[in-house]
Amino acid sequence: MNWLGSLQQLGRAVMLPTMVLPAAAILLSLGSLPWSTWGFPMVSDMANAAGNGIFYFLPYLFAVGVALGMSNQAGQAGLAALAGMAIYDQVTLRFGNGLIHPATLIGIILGVISGVAYNRFKSIKLPEVLQFFGGTRFVLLLIGLFSAVFAGLMLIVAPLIQRGLQFIAGLELSLGGFGLFVYGILYRVLAAFGLHHLLNNIFWFQLGTYKTPSGNIVQGDLPRFFAGDPTAGYFMSGLFPIMMFAIPAIALAIIQEAREDLKPKVQKTFLTAALVCFFTGVSEQIEFAFLFAAPYLFLVHAVMSGLAMWLTFELDIHHGFSYSAGFIDYVLNFHLSHNAWLLIPLGVAYGLVYYVLFRWAIRRFRIPTPGREEGSVLEDWAGNIPYSAPLILEALGGKENIVRVEACITRLRLTVHNDRLIDTGAIKALGSAGLINLGGGNLQVVFGTYSELIREEIAKLMERDLPQVLFNAPVHGKMLPIHEVPDKIFATKLVGDGVAFVPERGELVSPVYGTVMHLYPTMHALGISTREGLEVLLHIGIDTSQLKGNFTAMVEAGDTVEPGQLLIKFDLQALREQAPSLVTPMVITNPDRVKSWSFAPFKTVKKGQTSVMSVVLHDRNVGGVET
């Protein structure tokens, strides 16, 4: 892995522990209610204790979460990090003279070391008499001993690090609004590469120190905000106008600039994305709709985001969130805020500016945002994920090409052997908003909030060795469900099951590896037997068996063919004039061999495009009984 790939993995790892923070925010919000007035004072105390407990043990959560993220969810690495954090905490508590406090930075360091140690030593073999401590048990032993030495060293170094962080925090605040302006720009630019979690972790969880009335020390803008620090919240407040108003306004601009025939589809998708962003602050689905098409517009967006941070600083607005700057967090944490009501008029103004700016830019520079051209618009296909996952995996180069696959909130994070095997066109057709190649085989594919579900399905496929057959597109044109074929025999699946195409060019190519079983005399159709025993019929047009002279076969019965190989040339114009329909079915005539079917979105496909259809075959045991 190159350095960007390493940062990608670390960025996802440090994000994982923050997923527990919404629980803390809800508990503290419940604790702020007037339970004493209602006669239940203990409820308030319990809720506050529970919420504050999460922040108190935040370094532990970071240690475990980062270790899991760095070791591909290995429980032994998480346990090693937890043990290491406990050892560090006890040593520094007893010998630190009250000057050293558990910090998220220490949790991250121990988490990284535990994850790396697990990856390096999980299969280590020791001499036979010591092999009990070999393998993953060696990782636990190693991190336990390392943590004791590390804690002793940190008795000297930790105060220096804490003073350094305090100096950086003071320097940042001395820059005033300009410092927040720079932070806002960096946040938005790094978000495009999925590396913003590294930046945020420094400002949200490490810079700035606050001593609570109970004597606990908390660090970072986010924990300090929830602990009641009146100076906290600067590094979060400016994100609310962007997430709640500006980015949803981009979605509305994209809808308004869509073609009339595609507008209903775009409206359904992007209204949902706008609501998701408004309520939860998940913005990548919308941002990636124009990031690749107009990167200069994304830079304008980054500058405007920085300006929002500056404005909230000048207006002395203090607000924070546990998850992201959405409406839910805005309401939940309003009782802890200062001048947060100003975020609403500021956000409305930002939304209007963004709406006008993006509508003008899309129209003026003819930016190909979704709806202005045929392409993926992040369709609502969550229910089809188990059926689409095999196609996504194949578009990523197949399971042999995958080294590691993980997911964060809105994107798959991948390491592959060969990034040239990635079919970007197929990835987009399957619902991706964009693909970022970080080099060294490290990729990010944006699938929105379905990314984790897709990762789970891909992981299942990689663990199983399924007898699977993948079909390429046999023609260039629009793909249709088989039931839309204007012929009752094909539409009712009397011949077989599959898909159909409306060809736009006069060439038919092989969709699979196989052997030509038979070629019809008029050459309007042929059958292929795949290596797995499937029998595939390709039929050019409807009722074309009598249209002699319009077809030229490039293969003969008995020939071996491979995907993309030219089979038949045909006179497309003549068929348009003479045939009832150009619809070309591709059906499996022995569908009893198929256990499950997967289809790519029914859109325009390119000739030879990989994996427009995938089928999983029934396994056959020695006795011949299908399972």
If DSSP states are collapsed to H, E and C, what string results for 230-241?
CCCCHHHHCHHH
Distance of CA 583 to the CA centre of its chain: 36
Q: What is the mean pLDDT of the chain?
A: 86
- Evaluate whether residue 122 is within a structural domain: yes
3-state helix, strand, coil in the chain (%, to 5): 55, 15, 30
Domain assignment present for residue 183? The answer is: no
Beta bridge partners of 498: 587
* Other residues' Cβ atoms within 10 Å of the Cβ of residue 46: 15
Closest CA to 32 of 45, 19, 13: 45
Residue 187 lies in a domain: no
In the predicted structure, residue 627 carries a pLDDT above the cut 80 = no
Sheet with strand 411-416: strands edge to edge: 402-407, 411-416, 442-446, 434-439
Q: Say yes or no: 434 and 577 in one domain.
A: no
CA 573 to chain centre: 44
Residue range 537-587, pLDDT digits in tens: 999 999 998 888 899 999 999 999 999 999 999 999 999 989 999 999 999
Q: Is residue 598 part of a domain?
A: yes
Look at residue 622 and tell me whether its pLDDT is greater than 50. Answer: no
Last residue of one domain, picked from the residues 375, 410, 437: 375
Instruction: Report the pLDDT value the prediction gives residue 175, as an integer from 0 to 100.
Output: 86
pTM of the full structure: 0.71
Looking at the structure of the chain, the number of domains it has is: 4
- Is 503 within a domain? yes
Are 400 and 356 in the same domain?
Answer: no
Q: Judge if 286 and 357 occupy the same domain.
A: yes
Does the pLDDT value for residue 375 go beyond 60? no
- Residues with active-site annotation: 408
Say if strands 217-219 and 209-211 run parallel, antiparallel, or are unpaired: antiparallel
Please report, for the domain that includes residue 547, its CATH number: 2.70.70.10
Q: Are residues 513 and 449 in the same domain?
A: no
pLDDT of residue 587: 96
Mean of pLDDT values over 59-87: 90
What backbone torsions phi and psi does residue 402 show, to the nearest 5 degrees? -90, 125
Helix (H) or strand (E) holding 429: helix 424-429
**Per-residue model confidence as pLDDT tens digits over 570-584:** 999 999 989 999 999
Same domain, 20 and 127: yes
Task: Report yes or no on 303 lying in a domain.
Answer: yes
Q: Which of 414, 434, 464 is the last residue of a domain?
A: 464
Residue range of the domain that includes 515 = 469-617
Do 267 and 330 lie in one domain? The reply is: yes
Q: Is 595 exposed, middle or buried (0-12, 13-18, 19+ CB in 10 A)?
A: middle
Residue 2: what pLDDT? 59
The pair of three-digit structure tokens given for residue 167, joined into one six-digit string: 């100096």
At residue 323, the pLDDT reads 82
Please choose, from the candidates 243, 225, 417, the residue with its C-alpha nearest in 3D space to the C-alpha of residue 321.
225
Same-domain pairing of 78 and 59: yes
Neighbours of 33 (CB within 10 A): 14
pLDDT of residue 624: 40
Residue 121 and residue 134 in one domain: yes
Q: What is the CATH number of the domain that holds 418?
A: 3.30.1360.60
Whether residues 394 and 349 fall in one domain: no
| Domain-located, residue 46 | yes
DSSP 501-530: EEESSSEEE-SSSEEEEEE-TTSSEEEEEE
Query: For the chain, how many residues are written?
Result: 627
Whether residues 28 and 151 share a domain: the answer is: yes
**Residue 477 and residue 552 in one domain:** yes
Instruction: Examine the domain organization and report whether 340 and 397 are in the same domain.
Output: no
Is 186 contained in some domain?
no
CB atoms within 10 A of CB 87: 20
Domain final residue, candidates 329, 351, 375: 375
pLDDT tops 60 at residue 300:
yes
More confident residue, 381 or 202: 202
